[in-house]
Amino acid sequence: MPEIADIIRCHGADYLERFGAGMLPSHLRAVRDIAECRTESFGGHLAVCDHCGIWRYSYHSCRNRSCPKCHGNDTEKWLDERRSELLPVPYFHLVFTVPKELHGLFRTHQRVLYAILIRAAASSLMDLARDPRYVGGTIPVLCVLHTWTRALLYHPHVHCLVPGGGLADDGGSWLPARKRFLVPVRALSEIFRAQFMELARKAFPDQAFPESVWHTPWVVYSKPTIQGAEKVLMYLARYVHRVAITNNRILAVKGDTVTFRYKDSRERCWKTMTLSALEFMRRFLQHVLPPGFHKFIRLWRGPLLRPPRPRQSRASPPDQRTLALHLSQSATDHKRHPGSPTHPGRLKILHLPPMSGRFPRGGPLSAIPQEGATVNRAHSPTFTRRPPPPACAPCRAQPHTYALATPTTTPRPFLTPPTDSGLSLPQPKEARSPCLIHRGKCPIVAPSAPIRR
């Protein structure tokens, strides 16, 4: 099944040649990371089954938050944490949108206006909910920013998940809202527009905003979660660590066109759309957020609501002794065999590539496998995909050490032009490391079982 990475590998060079001079650094990095995700460029780790001896080489992922193949574990973790914070009350789903006249300003000042959009949506909702006619208390709000439609068009808006009730001013009682009504959306729309424009004018005092924004209705959607709050959380979690589209929605890549499916919200049915590859990449990359920008926030007040967990400080780079200790501990970590859940063997990590000093985004030790976790990324030289055998013929019982393949000294181009009409992934060259005990002069014993990846 085609993926976004295949589209970038096939047509990324043409896209960069045409638009590369005006692309943002975050867009360039997204293109590079997605194209090299789970390839030899990010290295990998080697594991062997302690029961049948099957070798397994796993490539590391890029961990770019725009990559559709990464952050599966982070998405599940985020969803579990949000589920644990749900209150046993009905919930409401609200959506705040802005008129098209402001889309040009949003593209130019993404970091500032995205933050103002989230702040204005949450503040206007909490202010109106404090009215005694509706809730009369402080409501908690979960806000998630989306910048796309289902057809990948540019449409910045904010999704809010709100419980049907709030905390009274005394901090000791809960004030429930009506069963199917939270606040009037027309009044909420006017308050949201006023607060957004006030914050935007303070941020850009010299910017001329179009007068039509005061006469165009700002659409605000509000509806109770009939199927439950978890259904909305599952939809929001799908794109918290990703953007715009997933790989399973891409149907075909033929020549210079890309066909994907999307759901029409008006007709409530799935449709297909065919775009040129360059137009598809343009629509996808326009939703890559500025570096360091957080697309969701949680606002809470009072003792009845669970506060967010405190942030952990970024760890300092460890010394060689600490790295050696973690590597020795990780060498005994085990994971289940990939072939079958009933297989009696477990995978044992034998070797990791040397760390090159540039640590992954998750911290200096995030590339080292921990117990029960999956290795995601390591910035390391390229080494062989097919591992050496565990021992040579003359001394099978002796412990052996095999050298890595020679690291690549010149950077490999991250875009591989297609050699045929089909899609092909870049494959590394096979290399076998010599036995360090016998200086490569001993006969090599091939593994008894085929290598599975």
**Same domain for 98 and 222?**
yes
Residue 439 — very low, low, confident or very high, per pLDDT cuts 50/70/90? very low
**Same domain for 77 and 133?**
yes
Query: pLDDT digits over 440-452, tens only?
Result: 444 433 333 333 3
The percent of residues in the chain predicted with pLDDT above 90, rounded, is 48
Residue 350: per-residue pLDDT:
60
Residue 352 — very low, low, confident or very high, per pLDDT cuts 50/70/90? low
Please check whether residue 14 lies inside any domain of the structure: yes
Q: At what angle do helices 25-36 and 4-19 cross, to 10 degrees?
A: 140
Say whether pLDDT at 411 is over 60. Answer: no
**Same domain for 26 and 161?**
no
Say whether pLDDT at 49 is over 70. Answer: yes
Say whether pLDDT at 427 is over 50. Answer: no
**Same domain for 346 and 440?**
yes
DSSP 222-238: EEE-TT-HHHHHHHHHT
Residue 344: per-residue pLDDT:
62
**Same domain for 201 and 345?**
no
**Same domain for 165 and 38?**
no
Mean pLDDT within 410-429: 40
Q: Higher confidence at residue 78 or residue 420? A: 78
Bridge-based pairing of strands 141-148 and 165-167 is unpaired
Residue 182: per-residue pLDDT:
93
**Same domain for 333 and 394?**
yes
Please check whether residue 318 lies inside any domain of the structure: no
What's the token pair of residue 15? 């896209």
Query: pLDDT digits over 181-216, tens only?
Result: 999 999 999 999 999 999 999 999 999 999 999 998
Of the ranges 24-28, 46-50, 270-274, 443-447, which one carries the lowest mean pLDDT score?
443-447
**Same domain for 34 and 84?**
no
Q: Could you tell me if 268 and 138 are in contact, meaning their C-beta atoms sit under 8 angstroms apart? A: no
Of the ranges 261-270, 272-281, 428-437, which one carries the lowest mean pLDDT score?
428-437
Mean pLDDT within 404-414: 37
With left for phi above 0 and alpha for psi between -120 and 50, is residue 143 left, alpha or beta? beta
**Same domain for 228 and 118?**
yes
Residue 143: per-residue pLDDT:
94
Query: pLDDT digits over 133-168, tens only?
Result: 999 999 999 999 999 999 999 999 999 999 999 988
Place of tokens 């959607």: 221
With left for phi above 0 and alpha for psi between -120 and 50, is residue 58 left, alpha or beta? beta
Mean pLDDT within 409-429: 40
Say whether pLDDT at 105 is over 50. Answer: yes
Q: At what angle do helices 185-203 and 110-129 cross, to 10 degrees?
A: 140
Q: Please tell me the distance from the alpha carbon of residue 266 to that of residue 244, in angstroms, as a whole number.
A: 19
Say whether pLDDT at 353 is over 60. Answer: no
Q: Higher confidence at residue 417 or residue 83? A: 83
Q: Higher confidence at residue 449 or residue 348? A: 348
Chain mean pLDDT for the chain: 74
With left for phi above 0 and alpha for psi between -120 and 50, is residue 412 left, alpha or beta? beta
Please check whether residue 50 lies inside any domain of the structure: yes
Mean pLDDT within 63-84: 91
Please check whether residue 418 lies inside any domain of the structure: yes
**Same domain for 53 and 115?**
no
Strand partners, 257: 254, 276
Q: Which amino acid is at 220?
A: V
Domain carrying residue 356: 1-60+326-453
Please check whether residue 440 lies inside any domain of the structure: yes
Mean pLDDT within 428-441: 39
**Same domain for 6 and 136?**
no
Q: Please tell me the distance from the alpha carbon of residue 137 to that of residue 177, in angstroms, as a whole number.
A: 10
Q: 117-126, 299-308, 435-444: which has the highest mean pLDDT? A: 117-126
What's the token pair of residue 131? 């009215």
- Describe the chain by its helix, strand, coil percentages, rounded to 5: 30, 20, 50
3-class secondary structure, 93: strand
Please check whether residue 164 lies inside any domain of the structure: yes
Residue 47 — very low, low, confident or very high, per pLDDT cuts 50/70/90? confident
**Same domain for 126 and 190?**
yes
Please check whether residue 252 lies inside any domain of the structure: no
Q: For 353-362, which contacts have Cβ atoms below 8 Å and span 24 or more sequence positions? A: 353/43, 353/44, 353/45, 353/378, 353/380, 353/381, 353/383, 353/404, 354/380, 354/381, 354/404, 355/323, 355/379, 355/380, 356/380, 356/381, 359/317, 360/63, 361/63, 362/63
Q: Could you tell me if 321 and 184 are in contact, meaning their C-beta atoms sit under 8 angstroms apart? A: no
Residue 297: per-residue pLDDT:
84
3-class secondary structure, 94: strand
The percent of residues in the chain predicted with pLDDT above 70, rounded, is 66
Number of domains in the chain: 2
Residue 331: per-residue pLDDT:
37
Say whether pLDDT at 58 is over 90. Answer: no
Please check whether residue 275 lies inside any domain of the structure: no
Residue 148: per-residue pLDDT:
93
